[in-house]
Amino acid sequence: MKNILRRLAVLFCLMLALALPAFAEGEKGEANITPQTTMKELRENPSIKGSGIYTYVYVWERDCGLLKSSKDNDTMLDVIGKESINSCVAGMNFLIDTYNTGTQITYKLYTPEEIAEDKTRDHAELYYFPADKPNAKYAVVLSGNALFYSGEMRGGVSTAWELHQKGYAVFALRYRIGSEAKDNAPIQDLGRAIQLITANAEKFGVQTEDYALLGYSSGGQIAGVFCGQEVGYPRYNVPRPGVLLLAYPINNFYEAKPIYRWLIDTYSEDLRYYDYNISGCVTPDFPPTYFWYGLNDILLMAFNYYEQGPALQKALARNGVPYHESVYKRAFHGIGIAEGTDAEGWLNDAAAFWEEQTAQAQQPAA
């Protein structure tokens, strides 16, 4: 009974933490998004609508039809939170301007034939934020999900804008979540995304090597597992990520693992992505890793705090993998860009780490 109660408490904390903080021809939307723009106004912007980017927060808002457009009257600030709103708004306006130049934003990861075989694949998409110059490095951003929360705006758009300002191309990944995440679907979606980018590198104006995987929360767990050998990038015949950049990552789902299996893969006995710990995937050839988290992160506490960042740090050090760890006194879960918190500026440090590590990797051996 105690184990059941603990698992339910973990699920509740997970839900609570992430609940907090092609248009008609000739018609183009204006890049006039502000923190006070409502979600309905955002979605009715012709360029946002035409771009195809996913602007919903919870899976039931659009895809399940249970609570249709329940966030329509909320402002962008209400939905995104003050820690990421400025970057998200700037990113949305950049997206509008980019789309209005004729640039395709949304890319489906699967063919129509593959989607016909499994309709959940229709929800797997990449959102492209191009760099200003060709042959740029690129990052793929995986937001947190908590089974039901979709963070493409809070994590993806805000991060895309910040990294675009630094000269990178960015792809925000919408991977399958909730009941659609069965059979390792999120890992498959990430693998397919890297395959798509690699095969179309010239079109996207990016380098195929030295890319970054940037993951928030549970998206960080998926990105970290993908960096390992067992179910990660080697299975998809794509280059190894140049670096792994993680914000308050879930290293170990701990007591939630049985909950995930019960909800997602009820009748399967095979290992799934949530069964793996990032720390368990670390080997000497694991990508250099930058990660941060807060001492007051309630969700990480619920998952056994010492099985999270501390366990990941030990695994990286033990295997001789270059890493940078930042632990902040006041940095709650789900704060994204983290403006106005102890973690403000973390993305600048992460980008510097990315440049430093990939530069070292390109130096010839003595």
Rounded Cα distance, 306 and 314, in Å: 10
In a domain, 366, yes or no: no
In a domain, 218, yes or no: yes
Q: Given a cut of 90, is residue 68 above it in pLDDT?
A: no
In a domain, 88, yes or no: yes
Q: pLDDT value at position 90?
A: 98
201 contact partners, CB below 8 Å, separation of at least 6:
207, 208
Q: How confident is the model at residue 7 (pLDDT cuts 50, 70, 90)?
A: very low
Q: pLDDT value at position 149?
A: 84
Average pLDDT over residues 65-94: 87
In a domain, 112, yes or no: yes
In a domain, 193, yes or no: yes
Determine contact, residues 199/107, Cβ cutoff 8 Å.
no
Structure tokens of 318? 């033990």
Among the ranges given (67-71, 87-91, 92-96, 312-316), the one the predictor scored with the smallest mean pLDDT: 67-71
Q: pLDDT value at position 363?
A: 67
Q: How confident is the model at residue 63 (pLDDT cuts 50, 70, 90)?
A: low
- Single-letter residue type at 351: A
Rounded Cα distance, 279 and 282, in Å: 5
Residue range 235-290, pLDDT digits in tens: 999 999 999 999 999 999 998 899 889 989 988 888 999 999 999 999 999 999 99
Rounded Cα distance, 9 and 5, in Å: 6
- Higher model confidence: residue 172 or residue 7? 172
Which CATH number fits the domain that encloses residue 60?
3.40.50.1820
Q: What is the mean pLDDT of the chain?
A: 90
Structure tokens of 260? 């995930």
Q: pLDDT value at position 75?
A: 97
Q: State residue 143 phi and psi, 5-degree precision.
A: -80, 165
In a domain, 44, yes or no: yes
Determine contact, residues 129/98, Cβ cutoff 8 Å.
yes
- Higher model confidence: residue 117 or residue 15? 117
In a domain, 208, yes or no: yes
Of 62, 64, 46, 45, nearest in space to 54 by CA? 62
Q: pLDDT value at position 5?
A: 42
Structure tokens of 331? 């940095």
**pTM of the predicted model as reported, rounded to 2 decimal places:** 0.91
Determine contact, residues 170/202, Cβ cutoff 8 Å.
no
Among the ranges given (67-81, 292-306, 337-351), the one the predictor scored with the smallest mean pLDDT: 67-81
Any idea what DSSP says for residue 117?
Answer: H
Torsion of CA 295, 301, 306, 308, to 10 degrees: -90
Q: pLDDT value at position 364?
A: 58
249 contact partners, CB below 8 Å, separation of at least 6:
215, 216, 217, 220, 221, 223, 224, 278, 291, 293, 308, 309, 312
Pairing of strands 125-129, 138-142: unpaired
In a domain, 365, yes or no: no
Q: pLDDT value at position 147?
A: 82
Average pLDDT over residues 142-157: 90
Q: What is the DSSP string of 61-88?
A: HHTS-SSTTTTTTSBHHHHH-TTTHHHH
Rounded Cα distance, 80 and 141, in Å: 16
In total, how many domains does the chain have? 1
Structure tokens of 195? 């395959």
Residue range 322-352, pLDDT digits in tens: 999 999 999 999 999 999 999 999 999 999 9
Q: How confident is the model at residue 72 (pLDDT cuts 50, 70, 90)?
A: confident
Q: State residue 237 phi and psi, 5-degree precision.
A: 55, 45
Give the C-alpha distances (Å, rounded to integers) separating 348 from 183, 225, 284, 290, 355: 36, 24, 26, 12, 11
- Domain residues for 117? 2-360
Rounded Cα distance, 155 and 141, in Å: 7
Of 282, 152, 268, 174, nearest in space to 226 by CA? 282
* Strand, helix or coil for residue 177: coil
Residue range 126-147, pLDDT digits in tens: 999 999 999 999 999 999 998 8
